[in-house]
Amino acid sequence: MNNIHDMGGFTQFGPIPQETDEPVFHSDWERKVFAMNIASLAFLGPVDRARHAVERMNTKEYINSSYYERWLRGIEIMGKDLGYLTDEEIATGKAIQHKEMPHPPPNAEMVEGLIRGGAPATREDGRLEPVFSVGDIVLVRNLESKGHTRATNYVKGKVGVIIKFNGSHLLPDTHAHDLGDNAQPLYTVRFEAKTLWGDNVDRKDCVYIDLWEDYLEAAE
């Protein structure tokens, strides 16, 4: 989806705000939003859906929201999409309708298990054999996406070189929308600054980014 979250390459957001001795959370509401997000993944997830919920925010609202304000909007958006919450309930904090829950919420032990064990994105089924090899030159396809994708605009239509095959990872583009894992080869691709930002660039810099096989095609 084209929105401001895909912001790689902008230069005028001003100085980077650095904070001395920054706490993990700046206020109790940030702490609560963080905890709610992770704890509710069992019903509102996967994480790809959560990322996409934030990406769908109104552009001006996104830009004027802090990080945990965006996470809070994400909970509201997913809660409504999945039928757990209504606008009226969100406004009042009072439950009106009760949806049958398929299982109890994860308890402390279960969330600790998730944090310590993680949720790997690799899969043993799906497309496992990579089409491309290390050293291959690839073009990032200029695919329109109205849903979730992790192909950034700044690499679309650009040519890079495969530097690593990372195994087969589930595809966020479908996983975020309940359209299946679609596990497929994930590559790390290197792009030169000149390729990304302009023919006149002489900086000896580069960007490495992880891209799924469906995002790529062979190039000369």
Partner 1 sequence: MSTHNHDTPNPYHDSHRDEAQNKALAERVDKIEALLLEKGLVAQDALDKLADIYENDLGPMNGAKVVARAWVDDEYKKRLLEDATSAIAELGFSGLQGEHMVAVENTPEVHNVVVCTLCSCYPWPVLGLPPSWYKSFAYRSKVVIEPREVLKEFGTTLPDDVEVRVWDSSAEIRYLVIPERPEGTENLSETELADIVNRDSMIGVTKVAAP
Task: Specify the stretch interacting with partner 1 by CB under 8 A; choose among 77-85, 130-138, 139-147, 176-184.
Answer: 77-85
User: Would you count residue 83 as binding partner 1 (CB under 8 A)?
Assistant: no
What is the footprint of partner 1 within residues 157-196 (CB under 8 A)?
A: 166, 169, 172, 186, 188, 193, 196
**3-state class (DSSP) for residue 165:** strand
The number of residues that bind partner 1 (CB under 8 A) is 94
CB of 220 to partner 1, least distance (A): 24
Binding positions for partner 1, 3-62, rule CB under 8 A: 5-11, 13-20, 22, 24-29, 31-36, 38-40, 43-44, 51, 54
Cis bond upstream, residue 46 (ω within 30): yes
Cβ atoms 172, 152 nearer than 8 A: no
The residue within the footprint of partner 1, chosen from 60, 124, 199, 204 (CB under 8 A), is 204
Nearest approach, Cβ of 206 to partner 1 (angstroms)? 6
Distance in angstroms (rounded) separating the CA atoms of residues 208 and 139? 14
Q: Which stretch binds partner 1 (CB under 8 A): 95-103, 126-134, 136-144, 177-185?
A: 95-103
- Pick the closer one to partner 1 by CB: 80 or 136: 80
Q: CA–CA separation, 73 vs 184, rounded Å? A: 31
Return d(Cα 124, Cα 176) in angstroms, integer.
Answer: 19
Tell which residue, 20, 63, 72, 25, has the closest CA to residue 44. 72
Q: Does 203 bind partner 1 (CB under 8 A)?
A: yes
CA-based R_g, the chain, Å: 20
Asked if residue 156 lies in contact with residue 129, where contact means CB atoms within 8 angstroms, the answer is no
* Of the residues 208, 217, 218, 219, which one makes contact with partner 1 according to CB under 8 A: 208
Query: Is 140 a binder of partner 1 (CB under 8 A)?
Result: no
- How far is Cα 40 from Cα 121, in angstroms, rounded to an integer? 19
